[in-house]
Amino acid sequence: MNACMLQALDNSGSEDWPAGTYNLSITNPNLLDMKQTWGWKVTRAAADGTAFGTITLTNPVAPLSQIDIGAVAAGSSPENFYPTDITLDGRKCKLQQDR
């Protein structure tokens, strides 16, 4: 099964995210592989459903702003492609379903 995943990574802090390259991981137990991505580059997908990659920001991201990324993901189930974990440079991101 393939599905489109769209993620908005919000800067909810009080300082800019500086331009540069950041490590990103997105986990969903249904994830088998990333077929195509935009806004980030996948370097590998692990057996536990974690995709690892990088985001390169050419401009800073101001507080209360966001960057949008996405992927066409191959998974074992069409039921749920919500990430169960996202980290950006090792820091856990708050997920939409956590709100």
- Tens-place pLDDT, residues 61-75: 999 999 999 999 888
Q: Is the dihedral of CA 90, 60, 26, 47 positive or negative?
A: negative
Cα-based angle 26, 90, 28 (whole degrees, multiple of 5): 15
State pTM to two decimals: 0.88
What is the distance between the alpha carbons of residues 98 and 44, in angstroms, rounded to a whole number?
A: 26
Q: Which amino acid is residue 55, in one-letter code? A: I
pLDDT tens digits along 11-53: 999 999 999 999 999 999 888 888 899 999 999 999 899 999 9
The answer regarding whether domain 2-94 maps to CATH 1.20.1250.20 reads: no
